[in-house]
């Protein structure tokens, strides 16, 4: 039986990817690099910063250097995005419908906690979340299921009682690896570009809580 809904953040709560692209463009331009949008689509969306920076800078970025470069890029993102925080169409109405139905809710993102603070703070989600995990709270990133298994533990639930909303290949894979049902949010990718999901949505406009309950019947 469905007891909780867990949301990824980027591309699921807000359509942030275009703003991450702008932040990365500025970050890489300082280093005389100009990746194409196709390269971003393949090597940025749904990936963690360690992978992204290592790929585009052409060498392994880790440890203290990763922390410094990640902070620089994510600060750029927050600066660009702070006045643009708009949820995907219908998200807030759907989110509050979940709460009215007595379901627990969590956010599980590969982004830094400061980004989660910005977005969940602006949308006033924190008072209604039973779990909020960001990149600092996990050792292994998606597609590893750690962030979803930890979220289920925070919610005191079995993974089988949770449904995840994800928009990226690695994110959907992480949720499936955690043995959770997955709703694919088609904000950044097509159906063909994602692993098979249990349901697909373009946005939250016509989504009802009953649609999710039927997934776990």
> 75-95, pLDDT tens digit by residue?
999 999 999 999 999 999 999
- Supply 182's token pair: 């997955």
- Give me the pLDDT at residue 118, please: 98
- The reported pTM is 0.93
Locate 23 and state its tokens: 């932040």
Last residue of a domain, one of 81, 99, 125: 81
Query: What confidence tens digit (pLDDT) does each residue in 187-196 have?
Result: 989 999 999 9
Average pLDDT over residues 45-72: 93
Q: Name the residue among 165, 211, 207, 209 with its Cα closest to residue 186.
A: 165
Share of the chain above pLDDT 90, in %: 90
Same domain membership, residue 127 and residue 39: no
**pLDDT at res. 41:** 84
Tell me the pLDDT tens digit for each residue of 94-134. Answer: 999 999 999 999 999 999 999 999 999 999 999 999 999 99
| 157-215 pLDDT tens trace | 999 999 999 999 999 999 999 999 999 999 989 999 999 999 999 999 999 999 999 98
Residue 188 is predicted with a pLDDT of 87
Is 23 in the same domain as 40? yes
Q: Are residues 61 and 109 in the same domain?
A: no
Dig out the tokens for 158 from the structure.
């079995």
What's the mean pLDDT in 67-76? Answer: 96
CATH code where residue 31 lies = 1.10.150.240
Containing structural domain, residue 90: 4-14+86-216
Q: Do residue 119 and residue 24 come from a single domain?
A: no
> Looking at the structure, do residues 53 and 30 belong to the same domain, yes or no?
yes
CA–CA separation, 66 and 70 (whole Å) = 6
Q: 181 and 99 in one domain?
A: yes
The set of residues, in sequence order, having a beta carbon less than 8 Å from that of 88 and lying 6+ positions away, is 12, 13, 14, 15, 185, 187, 203, 204
Measured distance CA(158)–CA(14) in Å, rounded: 27
| Total number of domains in the chain | 2
């Amino acid at each position: 039986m469905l007891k909780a809904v867990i949301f990824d953040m980027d591309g699921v709560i807000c359509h942030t990817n275009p703003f991450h692209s702008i932040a990365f463009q500025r970050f890489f331009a300082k280093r005389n690099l100009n990746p194409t949008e196709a390269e971003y689509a393949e090597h940025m969306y749904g990936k963690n910063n360690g992978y992204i920076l290592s790929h585009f800078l052409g060498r392994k970025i880790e440890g203290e250097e990763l922390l410094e470069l990640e902070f620089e890029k994510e600060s750029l993102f927050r600066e660009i995005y702070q006045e643009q925080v708009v949820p995907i169409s219908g998200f807030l109405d759907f989110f509050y419908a979940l709460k009215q139905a007595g379901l627990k809710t969590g956010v599980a993102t590969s982004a830094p906690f400061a980004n989660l603070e910005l977005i969940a703070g602006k949308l006033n989600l924190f008072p209604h979340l039973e779990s909020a995990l960001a990149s600092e709270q996990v050792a292994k990133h998606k597609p590893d299921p750690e962030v979803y298994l930890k979220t289920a533990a925070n919610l005191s639930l079995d993974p089988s009682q949770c449904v995840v909303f994800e928009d990226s290949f690695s994110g959907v894979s992480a949720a499936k690896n955690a043995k959770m049902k997955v709703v694919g949010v088609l904000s950044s990718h097509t159906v063909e570009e994602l692993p098979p999901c249990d349901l697909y949505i373009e946005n939250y406009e016509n989504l009802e809580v009953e649609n999710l309950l039927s997934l776990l019947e």
